[in-house]
Amino acid sequence: MSKKYRQGDCLLVEVKTFPEGLVKKNNVIAEGEVAGHFHIFPSEQVEVFKNNDGQQYIQVNKTAADLVHEEHDTLQVPQGKYMLVMQKEFDVVEEVTRQVLD
């Protein structure tokens, strides 16, 4: 069973490998739509990648790295490879699924 780490609407799921064709991006993994705050890994020991569909993958290259957000406790993420899953909600009235806004 893979390890999981959550900070607000961001869920990091440990993976064994990354898919091919990823592109390196900055270390902001999510931007809050409501308050404009960021979920960010400020460490240079973390690399964030994305594929053509925008799916993000995180590589923590040291023992642990901090995931920081102004409205949440800092989360220490252990060394490893992770896939980012953004929380979604289902509106039963409108019958639509949408991303949770942090």
Q: What is the pLDDT along the chain (102 residues), one digit of tens a residue?
A: 789 999 988 999 999 999 999 999 999 998 866 667 789 999 899 999 999 999 999 999 999 999 999 888 999 999 999 999 986 544 556 654 445 454
pTM above 0.85, yes or no: no
CA distance 71 to 37: 8
pLDDT at residue 72, rounded to an integer: 87
**C-alpha to C-alpha distances, 55 to 25, 67, 74, 93, nearest whole angstrom:** 12, 18, 23, 28
Domain ranges of the chain: 4-99
What pLDDT shows up at residue 99?
52
Decide: 38 and 8 in contact? Cβ < 8 Å. no
Q: What is the CA radius of gyration of the chain?
A: 14
Contact between residue 67 and residue 27 where contact means Cβ atoms under 8 Å apart: no
Q: What pLDDT does 14 receive?
A: 98
